[in-house]
Amino acid sequence: VLDDTVPNPNFLGTGSKYAWGSLALCVATCSLTSILLGYDVGIMSGALPLMKEALDMDNFQVGIIAGSLNFIAGLGALPFGQLADVLGRKIAMIVACIAFAIGTGLMAASTDFSMLLVARGIMGSGVGATFVIAPVYLAELVPAEVRGALVCCFDICINVGILLGFVGGYVIDTYLEASGNVKWRLMIGVGTIPPIAIALASIFLPESPRWLVQMGRRAEAEAALSRVVVDQRLVQEEIDVMTTMMHSEMAASFKQLLSPSTKSMRRALHVTLGLSILQQATGSEAAILFTPLILSNAGVKSTRAQLMWALPVGVAKLLGELISVPILDKAGRRPLLLAGNLLQSIFLGALAVGFAYKWNWHILIALISAFMLSFEIGA
């Protein structure tokens, strides 16, 4: 509701000022979008080997299906961002969830690589859209005092989703008496349930009051904000702040965002972009996606064993997040960033040596898990 650079002490508070039940519904619904992304990464890890065999795909095609999601999600977020400005955050999130569900359903029904790639594209656009719209929606709605914690909440939910994907893949492969072709389709198909649940839950959420102010609908903005802020005096104050902020934002240009006028802002932009790119370049997501294939090349031929021993990787990734979050403010961002990246370099180097000299696969799993834990500490 507030720009973090314009603090409003009157807005900080607890108790009866806020409708915490409504806030919890908003946060829980939007956090599910993070679980969606995590589940897809985790479940694809188990589905890829079965999918490759059932659809007779080569390694290049497997790599395209696995690695295309982030690229497509990035492109898909652009039109949905415009859609969110025109139709509102809530409607845009519902449309994105529908796209995700349709794409996931088509993936589960795919009979060849081409159909699979088209379905992945539809699903990817939905992923990118929900992952952009949901944080914006929450930032425009929730109290400033808990807004910072939502960043951690979203990261934790991604890792929860990854672990759920690993567990779901293992359970389906272990306890379902069916062919591999049926198993991978069920693994993917289960992913249609969360976006449908999010879309249905979104119907009951208030629209973003900031967007309503932007559209000149002040009365509706006050009504929307009143659903999470009980104190009507604070509602009026916040709507006034939003109106003022909206005018100052309209005076700013997109060029100023990409090319700041001051040296300090340019440096901050470069550091932010650099860290974001390098974080993805570490290959953490590839390590998750291809853990079963890594184990297969290391000599673990049973699909069930591959999926079972992929579970420690998901646990380590979530554990790293849970370790870093409580100490983040005490230790500081920079020390954790440096420590995490140093450990990542060590474990990745050891993993490369382990592959070259054909170390025991138990050691390789330990190294992948240690890498994922250190990645989350530094992320």
Q: pLDDT tens digits, residue range 107-166?
A: 999 999 999 999 998 988 888 888 888 888 888 887 666 666 666 677 788 888 888 988
pLDDT in tens, 175-203: 888 888 999 999 999 989 889 988 998 88
Helix (H) or strand (E) holding 344: helix 333-356
pLDDT-based confidence at residue 13 (cuts at 50, 70, 90)? very low
Tell me the helices (H) and strands (E) count for the chain, helix number first: 17, 0
Identify the DSSP state of 190: G
Cβ–Cβ under 8 Å, residues 323 and 377? yes
What pLDDT, on the 0 to 100 scale, is given for residue 102? 94
Beta bridge partners of 18: 229
Q: How far apart are CA 189 and CA 177, in angstroms?
A: 17
Counting Cα atoms < 13 Å in the Cβ hemisphere of 203 gives 7
Q: Nearest Cα to 63, choosing from 281, 288, 279, 289?
A: 289
Residue 249, pLDDT score: 59
Q: For residue 232, is pLDDT > 90?
A: no
Residue type, 253: S
- The CA-based angle 43-276-97, given to 5 degrees, is 45
The CA distances from residue 32 to 134, 195, 214, 379, in Å, are 9, 8, 27, 21
DSSP 8-state class, residue 229: B
Q: What is the average pLDDT across 28-44?
A: 85
Tokens, residue 138: 């929450």
Torsional class of 29: left (φ above 0), alpha (ψ -120 to 50), beta (otherwise):
alpha
Cα gap 65→59, rounded to integer Å? 10
The two tokens of residue 330 are: 């005490």
Q: Does the pLDDT at position 205 exceed 70?
A: yes
CB of 315 within 8 A of CB of 373? no
Query: Which amino acid, 75?
Result: L
Q: What is the reported pTM?
A: 0.79
